[in-house]
Amino acid sequence: MKRLLSGIKPTGDLTLGNYIGAIRQFVEMQKKYESFVFVADLHALTIYNDPKELKKRIHDILAIYLASGLDPKKTTIFVQSENLYHANLSWVLECNSYMGELSRMTQFKDKSKGKNGEAISCGLFTYPVLMASDILIYDADVVPTGIDQKQHVELARNLATRFNNRYGETFKLPEPIIPEEGAKIYDLQNPTKKMSKSDETGKGVIMLLESAESARKKIMSAVTDSDNKVIYDPINKPGISNLLVIYTSLKNKTMKEAEEEFANSKYGEFKSKVADAVCEFLEDLQKKYREIVESGEIPRILDESNEKVEKICKKKVQEVFEKIGVGR
């Protein structure tokens, strides 16, 4: 069985973008892959987080994974920092990475610009290498993510190839898996910008744990255009196209089906249908989320996972250390 690995970092409250671009894929793909899905808490440290809030978000992501349908019998769910080997391998890979290639990472360029003299952590620069380590340590075959992480998975492939050429066959080359639709869900107020958990205003962002009522308001006031035709055209109609992607993703419909359904609808009516779909989805997810939190089953799931992941990672790191010549 081929192996899947992916993760989410707890730097903000998870959004509908995280669900549609990532979690939905994990749930679907766990049927066919031996899956490893984790909370990338070490990745959150690239920026300052209030320690209490960070811990709360880690728990929230775990509960959201389970509430979304990740099945611990099929998917090994774990927290990155509870396994010391990821950071260990990351150092070795960092020593095999170049400043030039890390400077070309678009996420680094975006996140480091406009900081007005504010200090940028070295971690923000090297974090794609930690991500490569997360992936390569498991010999993952596939890495499902939204489009914004594709370049990082490609870096992981490059680092694996470089290491294999230098030291002999050690790492598998992972394939990024990007959904055809929903690879990038856009901000409802600014539909050319990614819907992001680190957005400051949150007006165009739907959070997975926010109330249905508040989500409905955001959808109803989403920016559209003056054309009044519900057609998928991301270049000329980014707002409507974004809402269509949200609708089709949550309702499991094709774009053609949705366009036919709304062929005679005005925008208000269309938005109201999208809002219904989002509210229904959020209410169902949040109900399951509460049940999972109350069940208290998360610690047991993590303990079982840790035993499994530690074995895999220890073996890989020992193999790497042997090949590079460190240790006695």
- List the catalytic residues: 111, 194, 197
Q: Is 12 in the site for ligand TYM (CB under 6 A)?
A: no
Q: How far apart are CA 99 and CA 262, in angstroms?
A: 50
Binding mask 39-68 for ligand TYM (x = CB under 6 A): -x--x-------------------------
Q: How far apart are CA 281 and CA 133, in angstroms?
A: 34
Q: Is 136 in the site for ligand TYM (CB under 6 A)?
A: no
Q: Is 146 in the site for ligand TYM (CB under 6 A)?
A: yes
Q: Which of residues 278-317 bind ligand TYM (CB under 6 A)?
A: none
Stretch that binds ligand TYM, among 146-154, 237-245, 278-286, 302-310 (CB under 6 A): 146-154
Q: Is 195 in the site for ligand TYM (CB under 6 A)?
A: yes
Does residue 5 sit in helix, strand or coil? strand
In the complex with ligand TYM, the residue whose CB is nearer, 8 or 222, is 8
* Burial zone of 210 (CB within 10 Å; 0-12 exposed, 13-18 middle, 19+ buried): middle
Size of the site for ligand TYM (CB under 6 A): 25
Smallest separation, CB 272 to ligand TYM (Å): 23
Strand (E) or helix (H) holding 317: helix 298-324
Could you tell me which of 292, 131, 138 has the C-alpha nearest to residue 209?
292
Smallest separation, CB 57 to ligand TYM (Å): 11
Question: What is the sign, positive or negative, of the torsion defined by CA atoms of 219, 223, 228, 232?
Answer: negative
Please pick, from the candidates 34, 82, 141, 148, the single residue that binds ligand TYM as defined by CB under 6 A: 148
Please pick, from the candidates 185, 243, 277, 298, the single residue that binds ligand TYM as defined by CB under 6 A: 185
Rg (the chain; Cα; Å): 21
Q: How far apart are CA 41 and CA 58, in angstroms?
A: 7
Q: How far apart are CA 184 and CA 121, in angstroms?
A: 26
- Contact residues for ligand TYM, defined by CB under 6 A: 5-9, 17-18, 20-22, 40, 43, 131, 134-135, 143, 145-146, 148-149, 183-185, 194-195
